[in-house]
């Protein structure tokens, strides 16, 4: 079960994205997948390269569109384990509409956001996860917009699996990705992944000082949506761990009879010459 390939990532040394790559590779092996049973669909950004760095099916899509493609892949071959991945700009700016509706739809896809609170590939502009007041070349006097909270966003639109992690915690992140892949339905895993080149505020040290692991909160119950929302608001959206999981709500897949068998991958798409001519005539 070898999920490593011989492609050398061209991320900057120290970039948080390396840990996410390693965690995906370990999690896939730990849950017993073979490379041909996994597909990773990515958007655009430094994070978008992940689909070429893991030995499995990969599709590097367009900006903000990892989720529609990932859902299409899942619909076409329903036996695949599908991961969608992208940066916070990809998922919470241009792709925000897709993120909200994919969460609501609850199709069995795991969405891993590589959240560095900045646009790294385009050399350091304010992103939807940058805090108000954040100074970059696109907001030289400080951002006047509030940052998106992935946890609160997901909880408010009916997410059935919400987790958050930090690139330095490879073990915890691997376990969360395993749980996300095993969850029946859509799983959102937001990962604080420091951009060491352009984000000099949200550094590894900053996260170590500010994140609040849920297992340090006495009596935390990851099945209580209201309290998860409340704790997240109290802790500025910086909680890590399994924040919320609903194991009762049925996934999209479970509500469609014969879902697995109906995908294109299981259909005989060969056409006889006569049927092809008939099809062409219908469209003529
Ligand atoms: Fe990582 Fe930032 Fe470098 Fe992009 S620019 S590879 S996000 S450190």
What's the pLDDT tens digit per position in 8-34? 999 999 999 999 999 999 999 999 999
* Residue 126: inside a domain: yes
The answer to whether position 5 is within a domain reads no
**Is residue 11 within 6 Å of ligand 1 at its C-beta?**
yes
CB of 168 shorter than 6 A to ligand 1: no
The confidence score (pLDDT) of residue 268 equals: 81
CATH of the domain at 275: 3.40.50.970
* Residue 284 clears pLDDT 90, i.e. is over it: no
Residue 258 has pLDDT above 90, yes or no: no
The answer to whether the CB of 117 is under 6 A from ligand 1 is no
Cα of 197 from ligand 1 centre, angstroms = 6
Q: Rounded to the nearest whole angstrom, what is the distance from the C-alpha of residue 266 to the centroid of ligand 1?
A: 40
Q: Tell me which residue range forms the domain holding 156.
A: 17-283
Q: Does the C-beta of 88 come closer than 6 Å to ligand 1? A: no
Identify the residue whose C-alpha is closest to ligand 1 atom 1: 15
Residue with tokens 């009879």: 257
Considering the domain boundaries, does residue 12 fall inside one?
Answer: no
Q: Give nearest CA residue, ligand 1 atom 6.
A: 11
Instruction: Please count the structural domains in the chain.
Output: 1
- Whether the predicted pLDDT of 1 surpasses 80: no
Q: Is 61 contained in some domain?
A: yes
C-alpha 124 to ligand 1 mean position (Å): 9
Residue 4 lies in a domain: no
Question: What are 159-180's pLDDT values in tens digits?
Answer: 999 999 999 999 999 999 999 9
pLDDT of residue 23: 98
Instruction: Answer whether residue 131 is part of any domain.
Output: yes
Q: Is residue 274 part of a domain?
A: yes
Could you identify the atom of ligand 1 that is nearest to the CA of residue 116?
7
User: Is 170 domain-assigned?
Assistant: yes
């Amino acid at each position: 079960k070898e999920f490593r390939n011989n492609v050398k990532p061209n991320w900057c040394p120290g970039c948080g994205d390396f840990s996410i790559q390693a965690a995906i590779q370990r999690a896939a092996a730990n849950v017993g997948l073979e490379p041909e049973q996994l597909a990773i669909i990515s958007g655009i950004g430094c994070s978008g390269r992940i689909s070429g760095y893991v030995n499995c099916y990969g599709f590097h899509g367009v900006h903000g569109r990892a989720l529609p493609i990932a859902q299409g892949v899942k619909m076409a071959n329903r036996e695949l384990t599908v991961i969608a991945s992208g940066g916070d700009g990809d998922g919470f700016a241009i792709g925000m509409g897709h993120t909200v509706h994919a969460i609501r739809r609850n199709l069995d896809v795991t969405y891993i956001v590589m959240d560095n609170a900045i646009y790294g590939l385009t050399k350091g502009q304010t992103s939807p996860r940058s805090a108000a007041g954040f100074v970059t070349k696109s907001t030289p006097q400080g951002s006047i917009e509030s940052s998106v909270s992935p946890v609160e966003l997901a909880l408010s639109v009916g997410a059935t699996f919400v987790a958050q992690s930090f690139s330095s915690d490879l073990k915890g992140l691997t376990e969360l990705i395993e749980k996300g892949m095993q969850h029946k339905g859509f799983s959102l895993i937001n990962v604080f992944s420091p951009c060491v080149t352009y984000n000099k505020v949200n550094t590894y040290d900053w996260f170590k000082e500010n994140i609040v692991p849920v297992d340090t909160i006495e009596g935390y119950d990851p099945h209580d949506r209201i309290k998860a929302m409340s704790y997240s608001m109290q802790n500025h959206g910086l909680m890590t761990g399994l924040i919320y999981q609903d194991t009762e709500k049925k996934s999209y897949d479970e509500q469609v009879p014969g879902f697995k068998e109906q995908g294109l991958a299981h259909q005989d798409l060969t056409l006889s010459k006569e049927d092809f001519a008939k099809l062409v005539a219908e469209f003529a």
